[in-house]
Copies of this chain bind each other. A is one copy, B any other.
């Protein structure tokens, strides 16, 4: 398909999305919830069809020899579809994010200024071969009154088409406008590049996936992008830490699910306790299959550890690999994290309020923890119900982005004929 054909069809999709976003702008919460219920019901009713479409994707992926991790992410089962519809129904119970007044004030000239939450508008989600994202992301956008443009990985195109068809059929029954949920039907990269220039039709792009995908999106987009490139998360064990607690937190942060962005990649240990804590931690982690890389001090204490390169300290392993360094102070820990981290999620383990405050006040990560696992950086764990992603940007939202973060505000100003002098 030639690029100009994408342009025409994309522009038409964009017009439909804009029109739908205007209908969603003030759609009552009860009706949005009815749409979510109807969508969930239709996905369940259409289960056989969706699973058959997914099987087509799986066959093609197996033929292409894609690895087991990709196949696992791509695969849909009856149980996974149940999880998908449960997620949509969870959204129904969440507090309506649109229409709330953030603030109201009166000016000396009598103008009354109100700041009111409104949907963002049209949101494009660009993601890899995870068909569950299709329903999750669309549901979050709908709950917050936004129209959504979905562009999933090419490996999952049949699954995504089947899911979106079901969503649209379900939504239609409850009055969801036609352009509210649209899937890009093309798998060519050029189509994404065109999409990323549609700044008159799309208000926000959220890319989800590997760092390469996200950098490409940022490079090409004239639409605002919110993203995180990677999660290089740290646990710092202060000199006065409860060492049993520290070990429990480190094991959880590294091993409970190593392939996610809020898993820890590096542990820093205060030098005063390193001699005792480092070997104990190493033994415990190695038993769990963790490969250790360390600085000079750590490698001396734990001879089985490899030497960590400068690059290692900056790497999101997404695997059972852990960097370990020895530092002389909380200040040094912050210096290291600031230099090598990704401003995602970092934790201090300490029994001192002073050290905890120093760490939380001076470290500028999206989520800074005291005596807890970094794994809690998640919309569900934060009590937001669900999340569309995590931001390490310094504007709009940091950390988990949920339905409130998918809104913005406008000012409504009431006067009695005021003019500016």
Contacts and interface: CB of A to CB of B under 8 A. Distances in A.
Considering residues A199, A375, A408, which has the most beta carbons from chain B within 10 angstroms of its beta carbon? A408
Contacts of A224: 224-225, 393-395
B419 A368 contact: no
A178 B17 CA distance: 48
A contact face: mostly helix, strand, loop, or mixed:
mixed
A356 B414 contact: yes
Considering residues A366, A367, A377, A395, which has the most beta carbons from chain B within 10 angstroms of its beta carbon? A395
B394 A364 contact: no
A118 B411 contact: no
Contact of A410 (B204, B226, B366): B366
Contact of A373 (B377, B409, B419): B419
A26 interface: yes
A105 B404 CA distance: 15
Nearest to A361: B26
A118 B364 CA distance: 8
Considering residues A364, A372, A382, A396, which has the most beta carbons from chain B within 10 angstroms of its beta carbon? A372
A111 B360 contact: no
A291 to B, nearest CB: 21
Nearest to A227: B224
A418 B367 contact: no
Contacts of A372: 111, 413-419
A396 B373 CA distance: 29
A61 interface: no
A45 interface: no
B366 A411 contact: yes
Given A360-B412, A382-B411, 9 more contacts: A25-B364, A120-B394, A224-B393, A249-B417, A252-B419, A366-B411, A367-B412, A398-B408, A399-B410
